[in-house]
Structure formats: C-alpha cells, structure tokens
Structure 1
Amino acid sequence: MDLLTLALLLLVLLCLLLGAGLWISMALAAVGYVAMAVVHPTPGLFLASAFWESTGSWTLAALPMFVWMGEILFRTKLSEELFNGLAPWVRRVPGGLLHVNILACGIFGSVSGSSAATCATVSKIALPELRRRGYDEDVAVGSLATSGTLGILIPPSIIMVVYAVAAEVSIIRVFIAGCLPGLLVMLLFSGYIIAWALLHPAKQPRPEPRIPLAAKLRQSAQLIPCALLIIGVIGTMFVGWATATEAAAFGVLGSLILAAVTGSLTWMNFLDSLKGATRLSCMIMFILAGAAFLTKAMALTGIPAALAEAVAAANLGPYGLIAVLTVVYVILGTALDGVSMIVLTTSIVIPLVQKAGFDLVWFGIFIVLLVEIAEITPPVGFNLFVMQTMTGKEQTEVAKASLPFFLMLVLTVVLCTLFPETLVTGLPDWLLSR
C-alpha cells in the first residue's frame, strides 16, 4: 500500500470515529494503532510508551497549575474588582465602557490562561452594567466574545503550553512571543470601537459625569491584586527567576492568597475550582497522550516526511504554505476546539513548517491566533457558546456581532506573517539574550 492511500484511509477512519462520537483521545489512539500495525508487529508497546512519555513530563506539569489558577480566579471577586478598577479611565473615550471589555479580558486572560473562563467571567460582570447604561448590545456582545479569546494569546496560556510541549519548543519563549500580538489585538479592537462610536453617535449613551482624579485612583486601587499576580507569574518567567512550571505553582498560591485576603475564598469554591481544574487537565492530557501515539505512528509510516516532500515539490513558497494552512485551520476550527486542532495536526504540520524555514515559536503564535479565530467561528466556537448562554441570543446573532472583531483578528494574522521578527520573535530573542 502506498503512503498516499494509507494517509487517506487513516484520515477517513479518524473522521468516522470522531463523527461516531468517540472521545478525541481514543480516536487518535485508535488511528495511531492502525497506522502502527501496518509497519510494526507490536504496536501495543509503542502505545504504552507514548502514553507514559507524553504525560510524564515536568514541563507539562505547568498545565494543571495554570488551569487551576484560572478556575480560582473565575470563582472569586478578583474579576469584579478588575472591572471596577478599569472603568473610571475610559468613560470619556469614544465607546466608553466598551473598552473595559477589552482591557479586562486582556488583564484577566493574562492570569487565567483560558479563553472560555475569560469570556464568561468578564461577560458576567460587564453585560448587566452595559445594558443598564444603554450601550449597544451587538457591539457589547461582539467585543466580549472576541476579547475573551485574549485568554489564550496573552501569557500564560493553556494552548501555548500544549503547543510548546507538542512542538518541543521553549514554553517561556512562546509565552514572551505572545505579548506584542496580544497588545496589537487589544489596540485593533479598541480602535474599531472608537471608529464605530464616532460613526454612530446616536447609539451612544449619554456622556457620564467627570470623576475627580482622587476618586479614580481610589477605584483603581482594586487593580493592585491582579497587578501583583501578573508580575509574580509572568515577571518571574521573563527575567529567568522561575521556570514556567514553578511560576504556575506560584500563581496558584498567589491566587489562593489573594482570594482569601479579599474574603471570597470559601471551602466550597475551593473544591469547585479543584474539581474543574482536574476535569479540564485530565481531558487535555488524555488528548495529548493519544496525539503522542499518533505522532509516533505517523513518523514510523513516513507519511509526514512524504507530505513535506510533496509540498516542497509543489513550489507553493513559504507564504503559499501559510495561506493553505490558514484555510485548513479555519476549517478545522468549525468543528474542533483549540487543543484538538493543535495535537491533531502537529505531527504533520511541523515538518512542513520547518522545511519552509519558519521559526517554530512564530508558528506557535500563528496557530494560537488561528485558534482565537476558531473560538468565534460557528458551529463549534466555544466563545460563541459562552455568549449564547450569557445573553440568550442565537449563535448566528452572536457570530454576526463578532464579525468586525473577527476581521481584526484576521488583520493581526496578516501583520504577524508580514513582520514576524518585529511583532513575534524579536521580543523573546532580545529578552532571553540579555
């Protein structure tokens, strides 16, 4: 059997298993087992070793810690204090409190690492306040759905940890590389809101009264807990004082201390956060284990190398390859979550990207941006589900409201592709070379 026929049969088998409702991790492992059986008489030994090697990683220990930190913050008052601390500074800017959606999602995302948690937490606080003040609901919903995706772009990010482990690159380097693209996305979102507000003055609520500087500063004091947590988690990694795993553990401890100090930590929400983190971490690790076995099986069959050679022979060029991958990932995003997208494609895509001469750290940010787009792409856009639940609107309505911000994400992908060193790899290279 030639490799092309084998690859097509494996792809069909995977689609059938996923379509039948089999767990993603089990579907990956089953396809890997079939592929391995073609080239090796004892695929079960490889299955056991792949499962152990993929989950018994010190680097991967950062994942459940970051997940738990996000779960703790999701269930405490820190997110509410974050919103209240930002609000006074944007009241007079065109678009007003809509900018708080973006700022709050960016800051909360930097300490939670989860897109869904960021979207749900900030929406729960912001939507009632924006409705009460008369803000346009479509722009409010669209900004919240898309700004929630900042939880996976601004470090620390669960998706970044998964990619770094799968691609075998430095987690800290990927974290640092996400900072400037994250800020760029926030600026583009705010820029769109300002432009929309200036073009639709009739849809703006009445200007709010000015607040004295002293009152603004008093309200902004509520930002101090989140600021301390961000500095503690991200700062220690960036200056080299802690590894990603150590920083994640400090983040959990810091979020527990802050929740206790603010009086929002109870035995019940502590247990709920632990249960939620355990469920999500086990799901991700199980998927990674299945993907690791599939990766090993694919490598032994020679399919990734053959595909790399075929793409090279097609003379697509680097940008042609990126254009094709963009279309593929957007299509995958209509049916899969971000973690599944990464682990399903890494074994095949990484050799192609390396052969085309792209930096794997840059490619990690490229994938994360595409996962952000997938989060607001029907029918399986996680953030669309979150906003649908929060607002009671149909998914199509939420997707339509998110469309202008969706285009801002596409623009970010284009800019990061055209200026990779300036926007993505330059900052980690500069910081880690000092």
Structure 2
Amino acid sequence: MDVSTLSVVLAFSMLLMLGAGLWVSLALVGVGALGLYITGNEQVGLLFATSSWGGSTSWSLTALPMFIWMGELLFRTRLSKDLFEGLAPFLNHAPGKLFHVNILSCGIFAAVSGSSAATAATIGRMTLPELKKQGYSDKMAVGTLAGSGTLGLLIPPSIILIVYGVAAEVSIGRLFIAGALPGLMLVALFMSYTAIWSLMNKNELPQTVSIKSSWGDKAQALKKLLPIVSLILFVLGSIYGGLTTPTEAAALGVFGAIVLAKMTGTLSVDNFFASLLGAVKSACMIGLILVGAHFLTLAMGFLGIPKALAEWIAALTLSPFELLFYLTLLFVVLGCFLDGISVVVLTVAVVLPMVQQAGIDLLWFGIFIVLVVEMSQITPPVGFNLFVIQSLTGKSILYVARASLPFFFLIVLGLVLITLFPQIVTYLPTTMVQR
C-alpha cells in the first residue's frame, strides 16, 4: 500500500473512531497501531511503551499540572470575584462600560489560569448575571465573553503553549515571552471594537448604573486587585526576568495562590481538595492525549507519512503565505471537531517539516497556531468556549456563535497583523535574549 492510500485509510479510521465517541487519546493510539499493523510491523507494544515513556517524562511537562492547579485554586476562592469588583469602578465611564470588565477580567485571569475554558467559565459566572441585571445587551455580553475567553490560550502562562513547546522542541520560556504582545494586541482590538459598537448602539446600554466610582471606591477596588495582580507579576516577572524556568514559576505560582487564598479566608479544606482533584483530572486528560499523539507521531515516522507530505507540499511550490493560508483552513476545520490541545498534538508532527522547509520561524509559528486554535474555540459545532457559555446562559449554541462572530473576525485580523508584522511576536524574545 502506497503512502497516499495509507494516509487516506488512517484519516478515515481517525474520523470513524472519533465519530464513535472514542476518547481522543485512544483514537490516536488506535490509528497509530492500525498503521503499523497494516505495514507489517509487529512491534506495536514495544513501540508504544517506548513512545509513552518518552512522551510523558519531559521535565517541561511538569509545569502543566501546576499551572492548571493555580487556575483551579483561583476559580474556587474569592480572588476571582475580587478581580471583577476591582475592575468595575475604573471602567464604569468608558464607552461600553462594564463590557470592558469582561475583556480585561478574561485577560488578567488568563495570565494566571492558562486555560480558555476555565477563563470563560470563571469570568462568565461573575459578569453575565451582573450585566443582565443592569440591562446590558445579552448578545454583546455573550460575545465579549466568548471572544475574550480565548485569551486563556495565548496570554502566558498558556497550557497550549507548553504543549506546543514540548512537541516542537521550542523553548517554553521564549514562547511565553512571545505570547505577551499578541495577547495585549487582542485585548486592545476587543476593547476598541466594543467601544465603537457601544458608541453606535447607545440604546443597548443602560442609562444609569448602580456601581459607584468615587475615589474611595477606586481605592477599595485597588486593594482587591492587588493580590491577583501581584501573583501575575510574581509568576510572569520571574520567567521574563530569567530568574526561574516556567516549571519553577508554576510551582511558585501555586504556592502564591494558596497563600493569597488563605490570607483572604476563602481557602477551606473542601476547596483545596476540589482544586487538587480538578487539576489532576485536567492534567491526566491532557497527558493521555500527549501520550497518544507521541505514539501516532512515532508510527507516522515509521510509515514515512510526514516525509512524503513535506515532499508533496514542496512540489507544489507554495509560498510561505500560501502555506499559512491552507494551514489556517486546516486548523479551523479540525477545531470544529477537536479541542485545541488535540489539534496541536495531532498536527505538529506532520506540519512542522513543511513549516521548516518554508523557512518559517518555529517560535513565531507557535503563536500563529495558537491564534488559529483561538478562532476554532468559537467556531461551531464544537467550539469549547461556545459550550461553556451556552451552559452559563441557557442560550442556543447558534445564538452564542452569532454573538461571538465579530470577535472571530477580530482574531482573524490579529492573525493578519502578526503575519504582516512578525516583530509583534519576535521582538520581545529577541530583545531579552540579546540582553
């Protein structure tokens, strides 16, 4: 069986397994084993044992459960509520008023959780009831939350950047630094669009608001913001300053979250164990996917699929821009059926040879792929953020998708900007390395 026919068989098998409801990790292992058996390789067990060990023992991966745990601790304590109450007085007079709380809260919480779904769920529980009570547009409230919730994938520390860094053998610390400016750029785009929309749709905003914004209120708000902002500066500053590795910073971040939660009096024994259990569940799910993807990558290497695909792409003589365009379409389509981490681990082994052959910087490509995955998070039918917000609001999935559509196009604009001006991604890592 030639490589092209084998690739079609394996792709169809993957779709069949996923359609049957099989776990993504098991589907990856199943496809890899099937490919090896078809080509007569009977050392499937040995290869799986070897690849599983290699795919699960990387020291860089230890940062993953720690950052997840840090987000779980914040989610289950008063710190996340303090974030909303701390921002509201400062944004009460901006065009769009409390809509901006959605965006900035997601941006700040993303910097300590690293998870898109956790960001959308945590901030949505706080902001949506308050926005509805004050008479804000439901559709815009849902849209700002859906779009801004994706920031959890990009603003460091990002779980998906850790996964990409391990898979592509790119420095996780440099990826974190590279994600900072694009993350701030998206926040600025979201806030600018929200301000313009609000100026054009003043009837969708409440004429009066119940939240006061005197200087005394702002001083109290700063006190509420100080703990979580300090934690962000502590974690990211230690990485950017070269004082710690991402793994060490993650451990310090968990310690800091526990201390802050204890100081605010919201860390109970039940909360502690609930956060620990939530972190274990999420980390195990991601770990199984990584093990399956590592085995599939090894199997495809034996089958010669990445090499054949890279040669085929090279024969098409695509320009780097054309290659990126087709890869964007591929990732968006995959994102309609898989979660972001699965998209990354499933495609990196096949895509990286093409990207390297086209002369594209792997550091820049890591941010590019995360932006595309962000788009897929608010793309029906399986955009994870859409499901999270649907569960919070009770609205239909199509309603949530329509509300988030403008923010989908804003992420597309962000993608275009980093493609035309790659320095947005590469400036900070290059500058800090030179120093």
Q: What amino acid is the match of 2:317?
A: N
Alpha-carbon separation, structure 2, partners of 1:398 and 1:32: 36
Q: Distance in 1 between matches of 2:8 and 2:221?
A: 59
Q: What is the DSSP-based 3-state SS (H/G/I as helix, E as strand, rest coil) of the residue aligned with 1:344?
A: helix
State how far apart, in whole Å, the 1-side matches of 2:418 and 2:192 are: 18
Match of 1:169 in 2: 170
- 1:49 maps to 50
Confirm or deny: 8 A CA contact 1:39 1:300 kept in the other structure: no
> 1:94-173 alignment to 2 at 5 Å?
94-173=95-174
Distance (Å, rounded) in 1 between the aligned partners of 2:54 and 2:77: 36
Q: Equivalent residues in 2 for 1:61-72 (5 A)?
A: 61-72=62-73
Counterparts of 1:408 and 1:3, CA distance in 2: 39
Query: Take 2:358 and 2:40, find their aligned partners in 1: how far apart are those partners?
Result: 28
Asked whether 1:85 is paired with 2:92, we answer no
Which whole-Å CA distance do the structure 2 matches of 1:410 and 1:52 have between them?
Answer: 38
Equivalent-residue separation in structure 2 for 1:67 and 1:210 (angstroms): 35
The letter for the 2-side match of 1:249 is A
Aligned equivalents of 1:289 and 1:131: distance in 2? 43
> For residue 82 of structure 1, what is the amino acid of its counterpart?
L
Task: Indicate conservation of the 8 Å contact 1:92/1:207, yes or no.
Answer: no
Contact (CA 8 Å) 2:90, 2:213: kept in 1 or not?
A: no
Amino acid at match of 2:330: V
Residue 370 (structure 1) aligns with: 372
Q: Which residue of 1 aligns with 2:12?
A: 12
Cα distance in structure 2, aligned partners of 1:328 and 1:41: 32
Q: Please tell me whether the aligned partners of residues 154 and 371 of structure 2 are also in contact (alpha carbons under 8 angstroms).
A: yes
- How far residue 210 of structure 1 moved from its aligned partner, in angstroms, is 6.7
Partners of 2:161 and 2:172 within 8 A in 1: yes
Instruction: Please list, as runs of the form range in 1=range in 2, the aligned pairs for 1:377-416 lying within 5 A after superposition.
Output: 377-416=379-418
1:212 is displaced (CA, Å) by 3.0
**Cα deviation digits, residues 108-166 of structure 1 (max 9, x gap):** 11001111111111111111111121111110111011111111110001111111111
Deviations 1:350-396 (A, max 9, x none): 11111111111111111111111111111111111111111110010
Determine the C-alpha separation between the residues in 1 that align with 2:274 and 2:19. 32
The range that moved more, 165-174 or 199-208, is 199-208
| More deviation, 207-216/94-103 | 207-216
- In structure 2, what is the equivalent of residue 204 of structure 1? 205
Question: Does the residue aligned with 1:263 lie in a helix, a strand or coil?
Answer: coil
Partners of 1:185 and 1:353 in 2: how far apart? 25
Rounded to whole Å, the distance in 2 between the matches of 1:5 and 1:215 is 67
Residue 39 (structure 1) shift: 5.9
Structural mapping, 1:234-249, within 5 Å:
234-249=236-251
Deviation, 1:30, is: 1.6
Same amino acid, percent of matched pairs: 54
**Which of 261, 283, 286 pairs up with 2:285?**
283
* AA partner of residue 20 (structure 2): A
SS in 1 for 2:381: coil
Per the TM alignment, residue 45 of structure 1 is displaced from its structure 2 partner at its CA by 1.1
Deviation at 1:214, TM superposition (A): 3.7
AA matched with 1:143: T
- Displacement, 1:433? 2.1
What SS does structure 1 have at the residue aligned with 2:399?
helix
Question: What letter matches 2:342 in structure 1?
Answer: S
Distance 1:387 1:113 in 2: 18
Report the TM-score, using the length of structure 2 for normalisation.
Answer: 0.97
Amino acid at match of 2:24: I
> What SS does the corresponding residue of 2:223 show, helix, strand or coil?
helix
CA contact (8 A) 1:169 1:361 kept: yes
Shift of 1:309: 1.0
- Normalising by structure 1, we get a TM-score of 0.98
Unaligned regions of 5+ residues in structure 2, if any? none
Deviation at 1:5, TM superposition (A): 1.1
1:36 partnered with 2:36: yes
Partner residue in 1 for 2:222: 220
Q: 2:297 aligns with which of 295, 306, 312?
A: 295
**1:219 & 1:177 partners in 2: Cα distance?**
31
CA contact (8 A) 1:106 1:186 kept: yes
**CA shift for structure 1 position 217:** 2.1
Between the aligned partners of 2:179 and 2:327, the Cα distance in structure 1 is 20
What is aligned with 2:425?
A: 424
Distance 2:396 2:214 in 1: 41
Q: Is the 8 A contact 1:84 1:220 kept in 2?
A: no
**Which residue does 1:361 correspond to in 2?**
363
Contact 1:33/1:43, CA 8 A, preserved across alignment? yes
SS at match of 1:178: helix
Which residue is 1:308 aligned to? 310
Question: Could you report, residue by residue, the CA deviation over 1:49-102 in whole angstroms, capped at 9, with x for unpaired residues?
Answer: 100111111110000101111111111111111111111111111100100110
Look up the match of 1:329: 331
Q: Do structure 1's residue 192 and structure 2's residue 193 form an aligned pair?
A: yes
Q: Equivalent residue for 1:178?
A: 179
Query: Partners in 1 of 2:213 and 2:390 — Cα distance?
Result: 34
Distance in 2 (CA, whole Å) between partners of 1:17 and 1:211 is 55
Letter in 2 for 1:42: Q
The answer to whether the 8 A contact 1:155-1:176 is kept is: yes
8 Å contact from structure 1 (residues 113, 157) kept in 2: yes
